[in-house]
Protein backbone atom coordinates (compact mmCIF):
# COMPACT_ATOMS: atom_id res chain seq x y z
CA UNK A 1 0.00 0.00 0.00
CA UNK A 2 1.23 3.45 -0.85
CA UNK A 3 -0.22 6.74 0.41
CA UNK A 4 0.75 10.33 -0.30
CA UNK A 5 1.74 12.75 2.46
CA UNK A 6 -1.87 13.92 2.87
CA UNK A 7 -3.04 10.30 3.34
CA UNK A 8 -4.60 9.62 -0.09
CA UNK A 9 -4.15 6.06 -1.30
CA UNK A 10 -1.93 6.01 -4.38
CA UNK A 11 -1.54 2.31 -5.13
CA UNK A 12 -2.20 -1.12 -3.67
CA UNK A 13 -0.48 -4.40 -4.57
CA UNK A 14 -2.76 -7.32 -3.84
CA UNK A 15 -2.50 -10.96 -4.94
CA UNK A 16 -0.44 -10.11 -8.01
CA UNK A 17 -2.63 -7.20 -9.07
CA UNK A 18 -1.42 -3.62 -9.13
CA UNK A 19 -4.22 -1.14 -8.46
CA UNK A 20 -3.58 2.59 -8.80
CA UNK A 21 -5.95 5.32 -7.69
CA UNK A 22 -6.40 8.56 -9.64
CA UNK A 23 -7.15 11.82 -7.84
CA UNK A 24 -10.65 11.68 -9.33
CA UNK A 25 -11.29 8.54 -7.28
CA UNK A 26 -11.02 5.95 -10.08
CA UNK A 27 -9.06 2.79 -9.36
CA UNK A 28 -7.29 1.17 -12.32
CA UNK A 29 -6.19 -2.46 -12.10
CA UNK A 30 -3.17 -3.66 -14.10
CA UNK A 31 -1.50 -7.01 -14.56
CA UNK A 32 0.36 -8.97 -17.22
CA UNK A 33 -1.16 -12.43 -17.70
CA UNK A 34 0.24 -15.41 -19.59
CA UNK A 35 -1.38 -15.92 -22.98
CA UNK A 36 -0.06 -17.74 -26.06
CA UNK A 37 3.26 -16.45 -27.44
CA UNK A 38 3.18 -13.14 -25.59
CA UNK A 39 1.86 -12.00 -22.21
CA UNK A 40 -1.48 -10.21 -22.41
CA UNK A 41 -2.07 -6.96 -20.63
CA UNK A 42 -4.99 -6.90 -18.24
CA UNK A 43 -6.25 -3.36 -17.61
CA UNK A 44 -9.60 -2.30 -16.19
CA UNK A 45 -11.20 0.48 -14.24
CA UNK A 46 -12.72 -0.97 -11.07
CA UNK A 47 -16.49 -0.74 -10.76
CA UNK A 48 -17.81 1.44 -7.93
CA UNK A 49 -18.62 -1.75 -6.00
CA UNK A 50 -15.13 -3.25 -6.47
CA UNK A 51 -13.52 0.09 -5.56
CA UNK A 52 -15.58 0.31 -2.34
CA UNK A 53 -14.58 -3.28 -1.45
CA UNK A 54 -10.91 -2.48 -2.06
CA UNK A 55 -11.09 0.69 0.04
CA UNK A 56 -12.76 -1.33 2.81
CA UNK A 57 -9.93 -3.92 2.73
CA UNK A 58 -7.34 -1.10 2.83
CA UNK A 59 -9.04 0.39 5.86
CA UNK A 60 -9.12 -2.97 7.67
CA UNK A 61 -5.42 -3.48 6.98
CA UNK A 62 -4.61 0.04 8.21
CA UNK A 63 -6.54 -0.60 11.42
CA UNK A 64 -4.57 -3.83 11.99
CA UNK A 65 -1.30 -1.97 11.43
CA UNK A 66 -2.36 0.83 13.77
CA UNK A 67 -3.13 -1.71 16.50
CA UNK A 68 0.37 -3.17 16.05
CA UNK A 69 1.96 0.29 16.13
CA UNK A 70 0.10 1.17 19.34
CA UNK A 71 1.45 -2.00 20.94
CA UNK A 72 4.97 -0.96 19.91
CA UNK A 73 5.28 -3.78 17.39
CA UNK A 74 5.78 -1.72 14.24
CA UNK A 75 9.03 -0.12 13.20
CA UNK A 76 10.91 0.49 10.00
CA UNK A 77 11.57 3.18 7.46
CA UNK A 78 9.29 5.28 5.29
CA UNK A 79 11.72 7.72 3.70
CA UNK A 80 13.09 8.27 7.22
CA UNK A 81 13.16 5.81 10.16
CA UNK A 82 9.89 5.79 12.13
CA UNK A 83 9.44 4.80 15.78
CA UNK A 84 6.27 2.87 16.74
CA UNK A 85 4.81 6.21 17.94
CA UNK A 86 5.73 7.83 14.62
CA UNK A 87 4.08 4.91 12.81
CA UNK A 88 0.93 5.32 14.88
CA UNK A 89 0.73 9.05 14.07
CA UNK A 90 1.26 8.42 10.35
CA UNK A 91 -1.35 5.65 10.30
CA UNK A 92 -3.86 7.82 12.16
CA UNK A 93 -3.42 10.56 9.53
CA UNK A 94 -3.91 8.04 6.73
CA UNK A 95 -6.92 6.43 8.38
CA UNK A 96 -8.58 9.79 8.99
CA UNK A 97 -8.16 10.59 5.28
CA UNK A 98 -9.97 7.38 4.26
CA UNK A 99 -13.22 8.92 5.61
CA UNK A 100 -12.85 11.83 3.19
CA UNK A 101 -11.99 9.97 -0.02
CA UNK A 102 -15.28 10.62 -1.83
CA UNK A 103 -15.29 14.27 -0.80
CA UNK A 104 -11.65 14.65 -1.83
CA UNK A 105 -12.31 13.14 -5.29
CA UNK A 106 -15.35 15.40 -5.76
CA UNK A 107 -13.27 18.43 -4.84
CA UNK A 108 -10.58 17.38 -7.34
CA UNK A 109 -13.24 17.13 -10.07
CA UNK A 110 -14.43 20.64 -9.18
CA UNK A 111 -11.02 22.28 -9.46
CA UNK A 112 -9.83 20.32 -12.54
CA UNK A 113 -11.60 19.77 -15.82
CA UNK A 114 -11.05 16.19 -17.03
CA UNK A 115 -7.34 15.79 -17.80
CA UNK A 116 -7.38 13.97 -21.16
CA UNK A 117 -3.81 12.75 -21.23
CA UNK A 118 -0.26 13.79 -20.33
CA UNK A 119 3.06 12.82 -21.89
CA UNK A 120 4.32 9.74 -19.99
CA UNK A 121 7.20 11.66 -18.40
CA UNK A 122 4.63 14.07 -16.88
CA UNK A 123 2.31 11.75 -14.98
CA UNK A 124 3.73 13.15 -11.71
CA UNK A 125 3.48 16.80 -12.73
CA UNK A 126 1.52 19.55 -11.05
CA UNK A 127 -1.04 20.22 -13.77
CA UNK A 128 -2.08 23.83 -14.28
CA UNK A 129 -4.97 24.07 -16.74
CA UNK A 130 -4.40 27.50 -18.25
CA UNK A 131 -5.53 26.82 -21.83
CA UNK A 132 -8.57 24.60 -21.69
CA UNK A 133 -9.45 21.98 -24.31
CA UNK A 134 -8.17 21.95 -27.89
CA UNK A 135 -8.88 24.79 -30.29
CA UNK A 136 -8.59 22.41 -33.29
CA UNK A 137 -10.50 19.42 -31.95
CA UNK A 138 -10.91 17.78 -35.38
CA UNK A 139 -8.24 15.06 -35.63
CA UNK A 140 -9.87 11.86 -36.88
CA UNK A 141 -8.20 9.66 -34.24
CA UNK A 142 -8.81 11.81 -31.18
CA UNK A 143 -11.85 12.10 -28.95
CA UNK A 144 -10.06 13.64 -25.97
CA UNK A 145 -11.87 16.96 -26.02
CA UNK A 146 -14.99 16.03 -27.97
CA UNK A 147 -17.88 18.31 -27.13
CA UNK A 148 -15.71 20.66 -25.11
CA UNK A 149 -14.85 24.21 -26.05
CA UNK A 150 -11.40 25.77 -25.90
CA UNK A 151 -10.34 28.96 -24.19
CA UNK A 152 -7.36 30.72 -22.68
CA UNK A 153 -8.19 31.50 -19.08
CA UNK A 154 -7.65 34.99 -17.69
CA UNK A 155 -4.69 35.63 -15.41
CA UNK A 156 -6.99 36.07 -12.40
CA UNK A 157 -8.68 32.76 -13.20
CA UNK A 158 -5.33 30.96 -13.64
CA UNK A 159 -4.07 32.41 -10.37
CA UNK A 160 -7.17 31.18 -8.53
CA UNK A 161 -6.77 27.75 -10.15
CA UNK A 162 -3.14 27.58 -9.00
CA UNK A 163 -4.13 28.51 -5.45
CA UNK A 164 -6.90 25.89 -5.39
CA UNK A 165 -4.74 23.12 -6.80
CA UNK A 166 -1.82 23.92 -4.47
CA UNK A 167 -4.23 23.77 -1.52
CA UNK A 168 -5.63 20.48 -2.84
CA UNK A 169 -2.21 18.81 -2.94
CA UNK A 170 -1.05 20.36 0.34
CA UNK A 171 1.83 18.28 1.75
CA UNK A 172 1.35 15.84 -1.16
CA UNK A 173 2.89 18.44 -3.48
CA UNK A 174 6.16 16.72 -2.44
CA UNK A 175 5.32 13.94 -4.96
CA UNK A 176 4.97 16.34 -7.90
CA UNK A 177 8.22 16.45 -9.85
CA UNK A 178 7.48 19.06 -12.52
CA UNK A 179 4.72 21.37 -13.75
CA UNK A 180 2.57 20.76 -16.81
CA UNK A 181 0.50 23.50 -18.44
CA UNK A 182 -2.69 21.97 -19.84
CA UNK A 183 -4.52 21.13 -21.90
CA UNK A 184 -3.83 20.27 -25.55
CA UNK A 185 -1.88 23.33 -26.66
CA UNK A 186 -0.40 25.81 -24.18
CA UNK A 187 1.07 27.72 -27.13
CA UNK A 188 -2.43 28.82 -28.13
CA UNK A 189 -2.02 31.34 -25.28
CA UNK A 190 -0.49 34.73 -26.10
CA UNK A 191 3.27 34.69 -25.35
CA UNK A 192 2.83 37.35 -22.64
CA UNK A 193 0.36 35.07 -20.78
CA UNK A 194 2.43 31.89 -21.07
CA UNK A 195 5.68 33.62 -20.07
CA UNK A 196 3.92 35.28 -17.13
CA UNK A 197 2.50 31.90 -16.07
CA UNK A 198 5.90 30.20 -16.21
CA UNK A 199 7.37 32.94 -14.02
CA UNK A 200 4.47 32.51 -11.57
CA UNK A 201 4.98 28.73 -11.43
CA UNK A 202 8.73 29.20 -10.92
CA UNK A 203 8.06 31.67 -8.11
CA UNK A 204 5.39 29.57 -6.38
CA UNK A 205 7.01 26.14 -6.76
CA UNK A 206 10.76 26.72 -7.34
CA UNK A 207 11.60 23.10 -6.50
CA UNK A 208 9.68 21.86 -9.55
CA UNK A 209 11.67 24.06 -11.88
CA UNK A 210 15.15 23.32 -10.49
CA UNK A 211 17.12 20.65 -12.38
CA UNK A 212 16.92 17.40 -10.44
CA UNK A 213 18.60 14.03 -10.62
CA UNK A 214 15.39 12.22 -11.62
CA UNK A 215 15.44 14.27 -14.84
CA UNK A 216 11.74 15.15 -14.73
CA UNK A 217 11.98 18.78 -13.62
CA UNK A 218 10.80 21.93 -15.34
CA UNK A 219 7.66 23.29 -16.92
CA UNK A 220 6.17 21.31 -19.78
CA UNK A 221 3.17 21.36 -22.11
CA UNK A 222 1.80 20.05 -25.35
CA UNK A 223 2.31 22.38 -28.31
CA UNK A 224 0.59 22.38 -31.68
CA UNK A 225 2.78 23.07 -34.68
CA UNK A 226 0.75 25.95 -36.08
CA UNK A 227 0.67 27.68 -32.69
CA UNK A 228 4.40 27.16 -32.19
CA UNK A 229 5.08 28.75 -35.58
CA UNK A 230 3.22 31.87 -34.46
CA UNK A 231 5.78 32.32 -31.69
CA UNK A 232 8.86 34.39 -32.54
CA UNK A 233 12.35 33.15 -31.63
CA UNK A 234 12.59 36.04 -29.18
CA UNK A 235 9.44 34.96 -27.33
CA UNK A 236 10.54 31.33 -27.28
CA UNK A 237 13.86 32.36 -25.74
CA UNK A 238 12.02 34.42 -23.11
CA UNK A 239 9.90 31.34 -22.38
CA UNK A 240 13.05 29.22 -21.93
CA UNK A 241 14.37 31.77 -19.42
CA UNK A 242 11.11 31.65 -17.45
CA UNK A 243 11.43 27.96 -16.51
CA UNK A 244 9.70 26.32 -19.46
CA UNK A 245 11.58 23.21 -20.56
CA UNK A 246 9.86 20.95 -23.08
CA UNK A 247 7.02 21.16 -25.62
CA UNK A 248 5.57 17.78 -26.59
CA UNK A 249 4.32 17.87 -30.16
CA UNK A 250 1.83 15.44 -31.69
CA UNK A 251 3.62 14.94 -35.00
CA UNK A 252 1.69 11.72 -35.69
CA UNK A 253 3.00 11.11 -39.22
CA UNK A 254 5.48 12.49 -41.74
CA UNK A 255 3.29 11.39 -44.65
CA UNK A 256 1.17 14.26 -46.00
CA UNK A 257 -1.50 11.89 -47.22
CA UNK A 258 -1.80 10.25 -43.79
CA UNK A 259 -1.74 13.64 -42.07
CA UNK A 260 -4.60 14.82 -44.28
CA UNK A 261 -6.53 11.62 -43.62
CA UNK A 262 -5.95 12.07 -39.88
CA UNK A 263 -7.09 15.70 -40.28
CA UNK A 264 -3.89 16.79 -38.54
CA UNK A 265 -3.29 20.51 -39.09
CA UNK A 266 -0.06 21.65 -40.78
CA UNK A 267 2.42 19.85 -43.01
CA UNK A 268 5.51 17.77 -42.22
CA UNK A 269 7.66 20.72 -43.28
CA UNK A 270 5.86 22.87 -40.67
CA UNK A 271 6.81 20.26 -38.05
CA UNK A 272 10.45 20.51 -39.08
CA UNK A 273 10.43 24.33 -38.94
CA UNK A 274 8.61 24.43 -35.58
CA UNK A 275 10.97 21.90 -33.98
CA UNK A 276 14.02 23.77 -35.32
CA UNK A 277 12.73 27.05 -33.90
CA UNK A 278 11.92 25.56 -30.49
CA UNK A 279 15.33 23.86 -30.28
CA UNK A 280 17.19 27.02 -31.35
CA UNK A 281 15.53 28.82 -28.42
CA UNK A 282 17.16 26.35 -26.00
CA UNK A 283 14.00 24.35 -25.29
CA UNK A 284 13.63 20.63 -25.74
CA UNK A 285 10.88 18.71 -27.52
CA UNK A 286 8.87 15.54 -27.14
CA UNK A 287 7.83 14.11 -30.50
CA UNK A 288 4.83 11.80 -30.71
CA UNK A 289 4.64 9.47 -33.73
CA UNK A 290 1.60 7.23 -34.14
CA UNK A 291 1.83 3.51 -34.77
CA UNK A 292 -0.84 2.20 -37.13
CA UNK A 293 -1.97 5.61 -38.44
CA UNK A 294 -4.18 5.29 -41.51
CA UNK A 295 -4.39 1.52 -41.16
CA UNK A 296 -2.85 -1.27 -43.22
CA UNK A 297 -3.30 0.59 -46.51
CA UNK A 298 -1.15 3.53 -45.30
CA UNK A 299 1.68 1.43 -43.83
CA UNK A 300 4.37 1.90 -46.51
CA UNK A 301 4.00 5.68 -46.83
CA UNK A 302 3.57 6.29 -43.10
CA UNK A 303 6.55 4.11 -42.21
CA UNK A 304 8.94 5.59 -44.74
CA UNK A 305 7.96 9.26 -44.54
CA UNK A 306 7.65 9.42 -40.75
CA UNK A 307 11.09 7.79 -40.44
CA UNK A 308 12.44 10.32 -42.95
CA UNK A 309 10.98 13.22 -40.93
CA UNK A 310 12.38 11.85 -37.65
CA UNK A 311 15.83 11.67 -39.26
CA UNK A 312 15.86 15.34 -40.24
CA UNK A 313 14.48 16.77 -36.98
CA UNK A 314 17.30 18.43 -35.00
CA UNK A 315 16.95 16.17 -31.95
CA UNK A 316 19.49 15.48 -29.23
CA UNK A 317 19.82 13.82 -25.83
CA UNK A 318 17.47 16.38 -24.24
CA UNK A 319 14.56 15.29 -26.41
CA UNK A 320 12.10 12.43 -26.31
CA UNK A 321 10.49 10.48 -29.12
CA UNK A 322 7.27 8.73 -28.15
CA UNK A 323 5.87 5.89 -30.22
CA UNK A 324 2.15 5.75 -29.58
CA UNK A 325 0.02 2.80 -30.77
CA UNK A 326 -3.34 4.03 -32.03
CA UNK A 327 -6.33 2.45 -30.35
CA UNK A 328 -8.38 0.39 -32.80
CA UNK A 329 -11.12 -0.94 -30.52
CA UNK A 330 -14.71 -0.84 -31.83
CA UNK A 331 -15.46 2.46 -30.06
CA UNK A 332 -12.18 4.22 -30.82
CA UNK A 333 -12.34 7.20 -33.20
CA UNK A 334 -9.46 5.84 -35.33
CA UNK A 335 -11.29 2.55 -35.90
CA UNK A 336 -14.44 4.41 -36.88
CA UNK A 337 -12.46 6.59 -39.30
CA UNK A 338 -10.86 3.45 -40.82
CA UNK A 339 -14.26 1.81 -41.28
CA UNK A 340 -15.64 5.00 -42.82
CA UNK A 341 -13.01 4.96 -45.56
CA UNK A 342 -12.86 1.19 -46.16
CA UNK A 343 -9.49 0.74 -44.50
CA UNK A 344 -8.39 -1.98 -42.11
CA UNK A 345 -6.43 -1.71 -38.82
CA UNK A 346 -2.66 -2.09 -39.22
CA UNK A 347 -2.41 -5.01 -36.78
CA UNK A 348 0.45 -5.85 -34.37
CA UNK A 349 3.05 -6.92 -36.97
CA UNK A 350 2.84 -3.72 -39.04
CA UNK A 351 2.84 -1.60 -35.91
CA UNK A 352 5.94 -3.37 -34.63
CA UNK A 353 7.60 -2.77 -38.00
CA UNK A 354 6.73 0.92 -37.82
CA UNK A 355 8.01 1.13 -34.24
CA UNK A 356 11.34 -0.43 -35.28
CA UNK A 357 11.67 1.93 -38.29
CA UNK A 358 10.83 5.04 -36.24
CA UNK A 359 13.16 4.03 -33.42
CA UNK A 360 16.04 3.44 -35.83
CA UNK A 361 15.41 6.78 -37.56
CA UNK A 362 15.17 8.72 -34.28
CA UNK A 363 18.44 7.19 -33.05
CA UNK A 364 20.30 7.67 -36.34
CA UNK A 365 22.31 10.76 -35.34
CA UNK A 366 25.64 11.35 -37.11
CA UNK A 367 26.78 13.45 -34.12
CA UNK A 368 25.91 10.64 -31.65
CA UNK A 369 23.50 12.90 -29.68
CA UNK A 370 20.53 10.58 -29.47
CA UNK A 371 17.08 11.39 -28.10
CA UNK A 372 15.40 8.90 -25.82
CA UNK A 373 12.76 6.75 -27.47
CA UNK A 374 9.87 5.29 -25.48
CA UNK A 375 6.46 3.71 -25.88
CA UNK A 376 3.48 5.99 -25.20
CA UNK A 377 0.45 3.89 -24.38
CA UNK A 378 -2.36 6.32 -23.57
CA UNK A 379 -4.23 3.53 -21.74
CA UNK A 380 -1.56 3.79 -19.04
CA UNK A 381 -2.51 7.34 -18.21
CA UNK A 382 -3.93 8.05 -14.79
CA UNK A 383 -3.53 11.33 -12.91
S1 LIG B 1 -4.82 15.18 -31.43
FE2 LIG B 1 -4.33 17.07 -30.39
S3 LIG B 1 -4.76 18.66 -31.95
FE4 LIG B 1 -5.82 16.81 -32.62
S5 LIG B 1 -7.89 17.02 -31.78
FE6 LIG B 1 -6.71 15.79 -30.30
S7 LIG B 1 -5.93 17.29 -28.84
FE8 LIG B 1 -6.60 18.44 -30.65
CATH number at residue 247: 3.20.20.70
Residues 96 and 146 in one domain: no
Residues 43 and 118 in one domain: no
Q: Which of 143-147, 195-199, 310-314, 356-360 has the least mean pLDDT?
A: 143-147
Distance CA 119, CA 218 (A): 14
Distance CA 200, CA 19 (A): 35
Query: Are 271 and 311 a contacting pair, CB within 8 Å?
Result: no
134 lines ligand 1 (CB under 6 A): yes
Torsions phi, psi of 186, nearest 5? -65, -25
Give the sign of the dihedral formed by CA 126, CA 131, CA 135, CA 137: positive
Residue 12 within a domain? yes
Residue 107 within a domain? no
* Domain count of the fold of the chain: 2
Distance CA 118, CA 378 (A): 8
Give the atom of ligand 1 at the shortest distance from the alpha carbon of 144.
6
pTM of the model as a whole: 0.94
Residues 15 and 160 in one domain: no
Q: From its phi and psi, is residue 159 left (phi > 0), alpha (psi between -120 and 50) or beta? A: alpha
**Best mutation site among 132, 140, 142 for ligand 1 pocket (most ligand atoms within 8 Å of CB):** 142
Q: How far is the CA of 87 from the centre of ligand 1 (A)?
A: 47
265 lines ligand 1 (CB under 6 A): no
132 lines ligand 1 (CB under 6 A): no
Residues 176 and 315 in one domain: yes
Give the atom of ligand 1 at the shortest distance from the alpha carbon of 135.
8
Mean of the per-residue pLDDT values for the chain? 94
Q: How far is the CA of 210 from the centre of ligand 1 (A)?
A: 30
Nearest to residue 248, comparing CAs of 333, 182, 347?
Answer: 182
Residues 7 and 125 in one domain: no
According to the model, what pLDDT value does residue 356 have? Answer: 97
131 lines ligand 1 (CB under 6 A): no
According to the model, what pLDDT value does residue 242 have? Answer: 97
- Other C-beta atoms closer than 10 Å to the C-beta of 147 total 7
According to the model, what pLDDT value does residue 96 have? Answer: 95
Distance CA 20, CA 383 (A): 10
Nearest to residue 321, comparing CAs of 275, 353, 366?
Answer: 275
Q: List alpha helices for the chain, DSSP H.
A: 48-70, 84-98, 101-111, 155-169, 191-204, 206-209, 225-230, 233-241, 256-262, 268-280, 299-312, 333-340, 347-363
pLDDT tops 70 at residue 35: no
Query: Are 311 and 276 a contacting pair, CB within 8 Å?
Result: no
Residues 68 and 169 in one domain: no
Task: Give residue 275's domain range.
Answer: 112-380
Residues 135 and 91 in one domain: no
Cis before 219? omega within 30? no
Average pLDDT, stretch 283-310?
97
Amino acid sequence: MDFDAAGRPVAVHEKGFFRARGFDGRWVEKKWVAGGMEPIRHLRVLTAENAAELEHRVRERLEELLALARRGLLSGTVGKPLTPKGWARRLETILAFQDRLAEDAAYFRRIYHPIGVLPPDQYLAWVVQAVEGCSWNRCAFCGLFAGRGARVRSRADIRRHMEETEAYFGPAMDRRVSAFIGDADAFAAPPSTLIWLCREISRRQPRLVRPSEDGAWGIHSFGEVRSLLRWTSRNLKALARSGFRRATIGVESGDEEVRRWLRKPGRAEDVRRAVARVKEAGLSVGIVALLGAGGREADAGHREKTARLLRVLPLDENDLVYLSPLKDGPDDPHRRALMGSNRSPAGPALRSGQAAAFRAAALDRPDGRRPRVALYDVDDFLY
